[in-house]
Amino acid sequence: MKLLLRSLYLGVALASGVHALAQGDPATLDRIVDQGKNHSQVMRILHDLTVGIGPRLTSSPRLAKAEQWASDQFRKFGCTNVHLEKWGDTPVGWDRGPLQMARMVEPFDSPMVFTVPAWTDGTKGVVRARVVRAPTTMEELEKVKPQLKGAWVLFPGAASARRGADTAGTVPLDVAQAIDASGIAGRIYGSRNELVVTSGTWANKTYENHPGTLRVTVRKSDYDRLDRNLEFGRNVVVEIGAESHWYKGPVPQYNVVAEIKGTEKPDEVVIVSGHLDSWNGPGSQGALDNGVGSSTALEAARILCAAHAKPKRTIRFILWTGEEEGLYGSRAYVQQHAAELDKISAVLVDDGGTNYQGGYEILEQMKPMMEAAIAKSQAAFPDMPQKLEVVKGPRMPRGGGSDHAPFNSVGVPGFFTIETGRSDYGYVHHTQHDRYEMAIPEYLVQSATNHALVSYNLACADTLLPREPKPEPAPTDGG
């Protein structure tokens, strides 16, 4: 009996400790769970963003449209201080046009899956031409030069334009440049597998000055089919239509910001975020990277407003842009808000696809508060367990390819949510499969609700989230 009473006492004490740390109003937490689980709008939000607007390349008109749409959503939900916050300019704007098609038409008809790098020239209409294998020496080039003009040239290797590299595989650079100068329709490369990955860079591009030779990447099976038919000595003809549009720059770029103002400590902040921009290769809708992260942040705002949450600290929602090209939006935010960084308790970033939020990487000193912060969510979604992974050493992990990284680099706790579930993120990441139908509704319901619960609990806690020690100041010479 004594052992039983002792166990019961310990359980009550632990539960009381969690409640004391969480600080969130229990009735409000219940309303948050009800809104998130039983009245979810997260899939409607994602559909409006990805099917209604489409992929959202940084510098494109569709990203600007998405920024205005998201601002309207935040206002409709009841957020305050909704605004676009400029982080910089791109030298030029660019987007794909509606004509996006590729197919082999001789020796037989076979559709191809393809992409071309962002911020490069496309085609004027559909370009139908023979396919010629790329010569690899100047001697070979002279022999086939009459066949090159107007042709699609099949290059070995994979194209790369993310940093503007002139990649020609086994074709020497001088030969590749001579091929381009022969008036070809463009280069055709093959992907490493059936995934066609889109990238690109605006570096050194202006409205008046940008590259002219088109580089098309087709999936491996399409490339192999072209190559095999050339090997058989057949006449191979393809049609490619890859419309693109350039817009005069500089083009201003913005993060989308909205708030639920804190009732007691409004100058202290918990940030809930995802990135609004995406790649825009043919077929992609920018859904899992990172329409879902933007949608869970928006839905978290809706849930908290609908639940009439009154956090002690401000909960700030930020939809970053320029993430894909180098975390431009979040890096600029850290610089522009340097004086406020000590009052940011946590930055929550959802950018790992459609799987559910399965926990966080934390420092040891954060564990009691984070256990309390996720307790309600754990109880509400018992089939989607979370874990807290304590990192080794005194600092939060450095690096990482998302918008938490700039905050961790300056000692502000930034969390890239641990994504858990059945979705294969690698199958959609930057590829033609990044579409609305790949999203998993029950996971997004949990993610948005968890965002709302965790941000509310942290915003109501007695203190800011513990953070890593600040570096010691460099010693100075004594006088």
- All domains of the chain in start order, with CATH: 24-91+250-460 (3.40.630.10), 96-247 (3.50.30.30)
Q: How confident is the model at residue 168 (pLDDT cuts 50, 70, 90)?
A: low
Question: Can you give the chain as a three-state secondary structure string?
Answer: CHHHHHHHHHHHHHHHHHHHHHCCCHHHHHHHHHHHHHCCCHHHHHHHHHHHHCCCCCCCHHHHHHHHHHHHHHHHHCCEEEEEEEEEEECCEEEEEEEEEEEEEECCCEECCEECCECCCCCCCCEEEEEEECCCCHHHHHHHHHHHCCCEEECCCCCCCCCCCCCCCCCCHHHHHHHHCCCCCEEEEECCCCCCCCCECCCCCCCCCCCCCCEEEECHHHHHHHHHHHHCCCCCEEEEEEEEEEECCCEEEEEEEEEECCCCEEEEEEEEEEECCCCCCCCCCCHHHHHHHHHHHHHHHHHHHHCCCCCCEEEEEEEECCCCCCCHHHHHHHHHCHHHHHHEEEEEECCCCCCEECEEEECHHHHHHHHHHHHHHHHHCCCCCCEEEECCCCCCCCCCCCCCHHHHCCCCCEEECCEECCCCHHHHCCCCCCCHHHCCHHHHHHHHHHHHHHHHHHHHCCCCCCCCCCCCCCCCCCC
Report which of 280, 282, 258, 292 is spatially closest to residue 455, judged by C-alpha positions.
258
pLDDT of residue 133: 97
Of the candidate ranges 211-215, 321-325, 334-338, 406-410, the one whose mean pLDDT is the lowest: 211-215
230 or 393: which leads in pLDDT:
230
pLDDT of residue 22: 52
183 or 212: which leads in pLDDT:
183
Q: How confident is the model at residue 436 (pLDDT cuts 50, 70, 90)?
A: very high
**Tokens 């992929």 belong to which residue?**
55
pLDDT at 193 over 80: yes
- Contacts of residue 98, defined as CB under 8 A and 6 or more positions apart, other chains included, come to 243
pLDDT of residue 158: 72
Burial, 49: exposed, middle or buried (Cβ in 10 Å; 0-12, 13-18, 19+)? buried
Q: How confident is the model at residue 165 (pLDDT cuts 50, 70, 90)?
A: very low
In this structure, are residues 177 and 143 in contact, taking their beta carbons and an 8 Å threshold? no
pLDDT of residue 2: 36
| Average pLDDT over every residue of 270-275 | 98
pLDDT of residue 212: 80
| Average pLDDT over every residue of 208-233 | 95
pLDDT of residue 17: 44
Six-digit token pair at 158? 């994979």
Q: How confident is the model at residue 14 (pLDDT cuts 50, 70, 90)?
A: very low
Q: What are phi and psi of 290, to 5 degrees?
A: -135, 50
Report which of 185, 183, 159 is spatially closest to residue 171, judged by C-alpha positions.
159
Q: How confident is the model at residue 159 (pLDDT cuts 50, 70, 90)?
A: low
How far apart, in whole angstroms, are the C-alpha atoms of residue 446 and residue 37? 8
Mean pLDDT taken over the chain: 93
pLDDT of residue 10: 35
Amino acid at 132: V
Report which of 319, 208, 349, 204 is spatially closest to residue 253, judged by C-alpha positions.
319
| Average pLDDT over every residue of 85-91 | 98
How far apart, in whole angstroms, are the C-alpha atoms of residue 242 and residue 282? 9
Question: What percent of the chain is modeled with pLDDT above 70?
Answer: 91
pLDDT of residue 3: 37
pTM to 2 decimal places: 0.93
How far apart, in whole angstroms, are the C-alpha atoms of residue 370 and residue 383? 19
pLDDT tens-digit profile of 223-263? 999 999 999 999 999 999 999 999 999 999 999 999 999 99
pLDDT of residue 58: 98
pLDDT of residue 16: 37
- Contacts of residue 280, defined as CB under 8 A and 6 or more positions apart, other chains included, come to 54, 55, 56, 57, 60, 62, 95, 96, 118, 198, 286
Q: How confident is the model at residue 1 (pLDDT cuts 50, 70, 90)?
A: very low
